[in-house]
Structure 1
Amino acid sequence: MAVRTQDARRGRTRGRSTAGAVLAVLLLAPACAPSEESAAGITAEEVSAALERRAAAVLAHDTGAYLAGIDPEAASFRAAQGTELRNLADVPLKSWEYEVEGLTAEGEGRVTAEVELRYRVQGYDHAPVSASRTVELVRRGRDGTWYIAGDRAADGSPEQLWQQGDVEAVRGTNALVLGVGRTTAELRRIAATADRAVPSVTGSWPEPWSGRVVVIVPGTVEDMAGLLGSPAASYRGIAAVTTGEVGGSGHAPADRVIINPQAYGMLGDFGQRVVLTHETTHVATRSYTSPATPVWLSEGFADRTAYRHETRTADEIAPELAEAVRAGDLPAHLPTDEDFGFGGDAGGLARAYEGAWLACELIARDWGEEALIAFYKAVGSREERDGAVEEAMHTVLGTTPQEFTVRWREYLSARLA
C-alpha cells in the first residue's frame, strides 16, 4: 500500500454529473483467491461477483441494482446505503473498483473482506485514489446468494466525503469543488479562487502537471478531521491541507485539497488566495516531492509561489519571525520537519513557515529561479533523506548546508531587522 503524507498550510485569523458507465474490475490478490471454498463456504469468484455488481451499480447510479446486492435482512444498513448512493450523485466518477486484500470466515455463511476501494474523478484523476474498507458478506436464501451486509472504513482509515452528507459539485475552469453542508455561493467563491491559483502555480512551476485541482469542503472542522483520520484539535487553526502520494514516480494520483471551512472562512480575499495557491503548488510539485524532501523546502516553495505576485512586505508576510529577529532571537538552523507539526505552538508553526519561505526567497535571489527549481527537483529525485539536501546544495548551488544556514541567518537579519 502506498505511503501517503499530508502537506498543510496554516491559516491566520488575523489576515493572513453524471457518472460514467465504466465497468469496474475486481482484482483478487493470490493469497486471497483460493481455488477451494473457504471455511465460510464462499469462493473467490462469488466475492468477485458481489463486489463487481456493487461497483457497476455505483458508476451507473442504479439504485435498484445497488440495493439488490445488499442484505435484504439488514434494513437500517440498506437505508443508509441508499442515502450514501444518493450523496454520490453529483460526483463525476470515471471509475470505481475494488481489490480484495484478505478474507476472514466469521462462521457459516458469513465472511469479512479487507478491501481497497479505488476510484477516479472524471477529468481530474489520472490514477485512482484509494481507501481501505472492511466489507461484510452474508449468504441468504435457498440459492445461497451472497449479499453485502456491511461496508465501513477499515480500522485507522479515514471517512469519505459522501458518508458525511449530500455532495454538491461546483465546476470551475481549472477546479472541481466538492462540498457537504456548505452553501452553493461559498463553493462557487472557492472554485473561483482555485481557478485563479492554477495559472499562478503554472507560472512558477515549469514542469508539466495536470493544471487542475480537486477541492474538498466538509461541513465542519470535525468532518475535516474525519476525512483525514486525525483528531479535530490538530486542524482547528489550519485553513487547508493537501493529501497525496509522494515518491517521485510520476504516477501519483491527483491530490485532494481539503478545506477547514471555519479557519478558511475567517481569512480575507488575500489570505484565501494565498492558501489555495499554496495548496495547489503541492499538487503541481507532487511528482517531484519525495521522502527525501525536507518540509522546509516543500512548504517554503509553496509559500514562495503563493506570495510571488503579491505586494505585501516581508514584515507583513513573516510577522512572527520578524518580531523574533528584532528581539534578538535569530533561529540557529533551518526549520525541522517537527517544527511544522499541527499540534504544537502556533507561533512556532508560523515562524517555521516564514523561515522556510525566506530560505526559498534567498535561493531565488542569490542563485536564480531556475536554480531553485533545479534544487527542488534534485532533492526530490532521491528516495531517502540522508545526504539528499547536501548533495543537491553541492551540485546545484555550489554550497553546503552549513554555509547556506549562515547565509540564511544573515538574510533574515537584513530583511526583517
Structure 2
Amino acid sequence: MTVRGRAPRTWRAAAAGLCLLFLPPLAGCAGRTAADPVTAEVQRVLDRRSAALLGHDETAFGATGARTAYVRLRALPLASWAYRVTALRHAGSGATADTELRYRVAGYDSAPVTVRRTLTLRRDGGRWYVTGDRPAAKTGQQLWDQGRVTAVSGAHSLVLGTGRSAAELRRYARLADRAVPAVSAAWGTAWTRRLVVLVPRSLAGMAGLLGSPASGYRGIAAVTTGEAGSPGRTPADRVVVNPEAYAVLGEVGKQVVLTHETTHVATRAQTTAATPLWLSEGYADWIGYLGTGRTPAEAAPELARAVRDGKAPAALPTDRDFAFSGDPTRLAQAYEGGWLACRMIAAHWGESRLGAFYRAVGAHGERAGALADALHRVLGTTPEAFTARWRAYVRDQLG
C-alpha cells in the first residue's frame, strides 16, 4: 500500500494524496460452500435484496429484511449491486454470511468496486431475513455505514456526504468542477475526467472510510483512494475529505487541495512502483498551484525557513520523508521540495516535458533505474546533475 499525505504545518501542507490498493477479497475457505442448500437459499435472498435496491422498490427490499440500508442508499446512483456469499455459518435460526459486495456508481465507475461485507440473518417462518450488514473485519466502512447518503451532481463530479446539507455539498462540487478542467489542461484528457468526492461527518468518519486510526489523518484535508498503476477497466478513484481540516482552509487552499487530489485521479494509471513520491506529490502540487499566484516563499514556507537558517536540503526527498507519522516539518519540506523540483522542470525544460518525464518514469515498471533512465531520455541529464540543479534552484527561489 502506497501512502501519500502531508502535515498540518500550514494551509498548504493540509492537502494530501493517498493511493490505496483495492485488494482482491479473500475467499472464505471455511464454512459451507455454495452447494449447501442453506447457502443457496441465503444467496437467493441477497439476490432479491440487490434487485429491489436497484429497482428502487422499498417494499420488496423490506421483504428481505432490515430497511436501514435502503434508506441510507436511496440517493446513491447505482449501476450495479450484487453480493456473493463466500462462507456461511449458521446454527438454529441464526446465520452469519461472509460476502463479497460488488457495486458500481452510475456514470463514474468503469468496473465494480469490490468490498467484503459481513451479513447477519435470522430464519422466521421458513424464510431467511437480513438483520445486519457491516464491513468485514479489518476493512474500512462504506459511506452509507455512517448514515444516510446525500448526493449532489456537478458538471464533472459527484459529491456524496453524510450529515451534510445539499447546499454544503454543492460547494465541494463547484471546486471539483473547476479542478477537472484545470488538470486536463496540464496533464491531458486521456483519463475519466469524472470525480467522486466523499464528505463524511467528521475526521473519525474519514478514518472509518479508510480503515485507519483517526490520528494518522489529523490535519490532512483530503486523500485519494484508487488502484495505482492500473490501466483499463478499474474502479473510479474516491477523494475522501476530512471536513475538520478542510474547513479551516481559505478558498485558494480549498481549491489547491481538490486540484491536487484530482491530479492523483488523472495520473493514477501512470503512477507505478517506479514513481518516487517527490514526483507524484510534487506534480500534483504543481498543477494545484497553477494560476494561484502563490510565490515559492508562500507555497514552501518550511523550506524557506530552512534555507534562511542555512539548512537547505542536500538531496531530493525520499519516500520515507512523506510518512504521515514522521516529523511534520520534515513532511512539509518533502512536499515543498517535490513541488519545487517539478516547478523547476517546467521552468527549465517546459511544461510538456514535465508531463512526459512523469509518464516515462511510471512506464519503466520497476524502481531500479527508472528515474535515471527518464532523466537521461526526457531531460537529457543525470541524477547527480539534476539534484545539483534542484539544490541551486531551491536556494535561488527561497533565499
TM-score computed with the length of structure 2 as normaliser: 0.89
4+ runs of 1 displaced by more than 6 Å? 27-33
Residue 129 in 1 paired to residue 113 in 2? yes
Structure 2: how far apart are the matches of 1:60 and 1:5? 38
Matching residue of 1:56: 51
From 113, 118, 121, give the equivalent of 2:102: 118
Per-residue CA shift, 1:50-78, capped at 9, x if unaligned? 221121122123222222222xxxxxxx3
Alignment of 1:6-405 (within 5 A): 6-8=3-5, 14=11, 34=33, 36-37=35-36, 42-43=38-39, 45-70=40-65, 78=66, 82-100=67-85, 102-107=86-91, 111-142=95-126, 145-405=127-387
Matching residue of 1:408: 390
Structure 2: how far apart are the matches of 1:9 and 1:172? 28
Amino acid at match of 2:172: I
Instruction: Work out which structure has the larger RCO, using CA pairs closer than 8 Å and 6 or more positions apart in sequence.
Output: 2
Contact 2:206 2:242 in 1 (8 A): yes
Contact 1:6 1:241 in 2 (8 A): no
Amino acid at match of 1:123: G
Q: Indicate how the Cα distance of structure 1 residues 35 and 166 shifts in structure 2: closer, same or farther if over 3 A, else same.
A: closer
Matching residue of 1:24: none
Contact 1:179 1:217 in 2 (8 A): yes
Q: Indicate how the Cα distance of structure 1 residues 115 and 394 shifts in structure 2: closer, same or farther if over 3 A, else same.
A: farther
Structure 2: how far apart are the matches of 1:183 and 1:29? 39
Q: Indicate how the Cα distance of structure 1 residues 251 and 184 shifts in structure 2: closer, same or farther if over 3 A, else same.
A: same
Structure 2: how far apart are the matches of 1:280 and 1:325? 31
Segment of structure 1 superposing worse, 281-290 or 127-136:
127-136
Amino acid at match of 1:92: P
How much does 1:34 deviate?
4.8
Matching residue of 2:18: none
Contact 2:33 2:87 in 1 (8 A): no
Amino acid at match of 1:124: Y
Contact 1:7 1:243 in 2 (8 A): no
Structure 2: how far apart are the matches of 1:390 and 1:148? 56
Structure 1: how far apart are the matches of 2:34 and 2:397? 69
How much does 1:262 deviate?
1.1
Identity %: 54
Segment of structure 1 superposing worse, 295-304 or 120-129:
120-129
Structure 2: how far apart are the matches of 1:28 and 1:322? 48
Per-residue CA shift, 1:198-245, capped at 9, x if unaligned? 111110111411212111111111111111111111111101111111
The secondary structure found in structure 2 opposite 1:325 is helix
Contact 2:8 2:219 in 1 (8 A): yes
How much does 1:177 deviate?
1.1
Amino acid at match of 1:359: A
Structure 2: how far apart are the matches of 1:280 and 1:402? 31
Structure 1: how far apart are the matches of 2:115 and 2:34? 27
The secondary structure found in structure 1 opposite 2:201 is coil
Contact 2:224 2:240 in 1 (8 A): yes
Contact 1:244 1:253 in 2 (8 A): yes
The number of aligned residues is 387
Structure 1: how far apart are the matches of 2:141 and 2:206? 9
Structure 2: how far apart are the matches of 1:35 and 1:172? 42
Q: Indicate how the Cα distance of structure 1 residues 28 and 55 shifts in structure 2: closer, same or farther if over 3 A, else same.
A: farther
Q: Indicate how the Cα distance of structure 1 residues 405 and 28 shifts in structure 2: closer, same or farther if over 3 A, else same.
A: closer
Structure 1: how far apart are the matches of 2:35 and 2:386? 63
Per-residue CA shift, 1:360-396, capped at 9, x if unaligned? 1122222222221112112222433233222222222
The secondary structure found in structure 1 opposite 2:38 is coil
Amino acid at match of 1:329: K
The secondary structure found in structure 2 opposite 1:42 is helix
Matching residue of 2:22: none
The secondary structure found in structure 2 opposite 1:187 is helix
TM-score computed with the length of structure 1 as normaliser: 0.86
Residue ranges of structure 1 left out of the alignment (5+ in a row): 17-26, 71-77
Structure 2: how far apart are the matches of 1:165 and 1:60? 21
Structure 1: how far apart are the matches of 2:364 and 2:308? 37
Q: Indicate how the Cα distance of structure 1 residues 50 and 28 shifts in structure 2: closer, same or farther if over 3 A, else same.
A: farther
